[in-house]
Structure 1
């Protein structure tokens, strides 16, 4: 026979049950007095799978309207100072040659046409010889045509011979033009030597040649010259945020080393996405005064002004992860209940994450306590 509990034990159980019931009633009464836009005690959620519990206290759940605030507005983007494509010149050798002398050093300012290197090559001697021969042939052809014209004027010449002289002059002129282009490509110099000159003014950035070394005509740069007046800043912007950035948008550039803050504007966004980081290059130019002694390769911080048509964003804590990959937010309906919405997220920065679809501007989303509404959610974003 089953043994009955002593009377004292029954009384203790009854006392515990009465105390628990009184505490539950007190909590229900305190929650029923709450109200407002945040999730309140009387707020009920759907009872289907994955929905919120029937009652959630306002001190644990907070809602916020989805806004179109920019995820890149005011946030710091990593950037670097670089030469514009038109501001960097790489000078190489047009033929295989030996370096006779290096006439510049890194950091030296040069003007357009200044000598950079003196090279020696058999091709240079051949090109000069071809030029001299072409000039002589052209002179002979000109003289022959002049004599044919004089003979025709005296009535002793033939028209066919003058025509042949004209053709010979045209051929000699064409050969002279080709020889001059080849000689100009090599540059001036005596004998088998020629001088490589700076195509534009600037500062010598690097020298990759030593006296006595043999260089090839493979396009490798022997001397790099940069124009300090043609600089811009290249920043890295997330792929999901690049569509909201327009050319001409205002920005601020800060040099961490000096603490200076300078006005800039967006020149354009690069078309190629980095395969690993999923970022695009953002090019900016200085709008006003440039930083003194701006150095290419220096690291800077870029802050963009607000972008009106940026993606919708919410705090990171508003997004739940379900099933390992599904992103879900809870939206408050007009009747006060919550419903889950699958969303597609973009880049996150500054504690906020972009929502590419799934919600609209103005929807009220749970931004605090979202895990209390879904027992099946695994974690926050």
Structure 2
């Protein structure tokens, strides 16, 4: 009977203890407690090492050690390197699997604990020895050997029995009547079950606990009044990374950690093409942004105009040159036939008649003088004069016909490409009207408008709408204002493929004012949702931290970081936009 009473007392003590905890959770106005920290995406155990030239990450998995080797300053994967690892079984050379990825079999990694490795890296002329430490947890320690549930519960109850018995009176005095009723009923029910089975096999204490726990959970559910505190609870920010649950395979996924940094495993870094640069403080000239547009080079372009008004007709090829057609200096592009008025036609016919009469008269005189000159009756001088007069009259007659019938040829003044054409067969072109514009696409200029005088502006770049940048060479600025601004002209240096005359650009021109700071590519700066500019610092092999910065334009490709990050830091210059999307 003493053993029976002891078991009953244990059941009652545990019941009251659970009731006390349940009442604290069930009543309105009481603290329901903070939600447990969330379990983030699991990551596999890993070790890392770095030197001035290399950055190495070692990841053991399924009996294989995978080594990721990158350049320390740029983050670029290193291919064709030699990695020799000092293992417990001796030195082993890792085999290259992909650029920057090397693998070697490591059955000794199945033993949990601390492993110190020495990796000798040879890449070209660079040689370094990197120590790597691996800490492998014991799955058996994380998941202890299972014991029967009855023994575990009995041991727990036995250990907690003295404290629960001492607190029994206090719990009873403070408990609500309804809860006391539930507890008493649970106790009696468990006691009756034990008495009924007294004659047979002894019932363990877990049977009474199971019954009382069922009633307790029912009472607690009713006490909440229909509230649901499970599905709507949000995870608490600031939870640390935890090891994967026993038996669950770790998955290396890019994730944003509770402290705001971003964990990106090496395979993902290679996939996103992340690259970094080491920051350095320098002195740069202050730049200003100017609106500008592309114009043709005045020395390598020209226009084709008609000197007289007339009707356009095609060149000898039969077709007008269209846009984009290359032409050479001296090519005939079109003809202009001037119109002749009726009055002019009448005058021309009258003049032609007079010339014809004079030609006929002089022709007869020349013939007569030629006959007389043989007898000496007419001097040879008179014959020569008559012949000269006849020739002049014929030339005047031919020129009059030519002026009436021959059109004006429009000739290309320079070699280049037809940039603008307005010629149509039969079109009447006015005197001075531009029919064609010829541009050399290999030599283009940029004209910008500046509100400040530029002192030389040797360092200038132009930025297109698509992000492309052009190097510019200063050519000069005007002395006369244009719309309260000074026109400044630059020559485009380098490739001009794809550029069009009249295309708008933004010119970044340097001034004489000097500034100090860090020069970074524009792609390194990311604009966050709140409008703040940030850059991502590569703090360790697989972690990146966002740094808020204040930047000013430096040129078409770079910005100047004044505040937010110092020198000697690795900043992401390629893939920063993708890195900012990791959640």
What TM-score does the superposition give when structure 2 sets the normalisation length? 0.29
Larger RCO, structure (CA 8 Å, separation 6 or more): 1
Higher alpha-carbon Rg: 2
What TM-score does the superposition give when structure 1 sets the normalisation length? 0.42
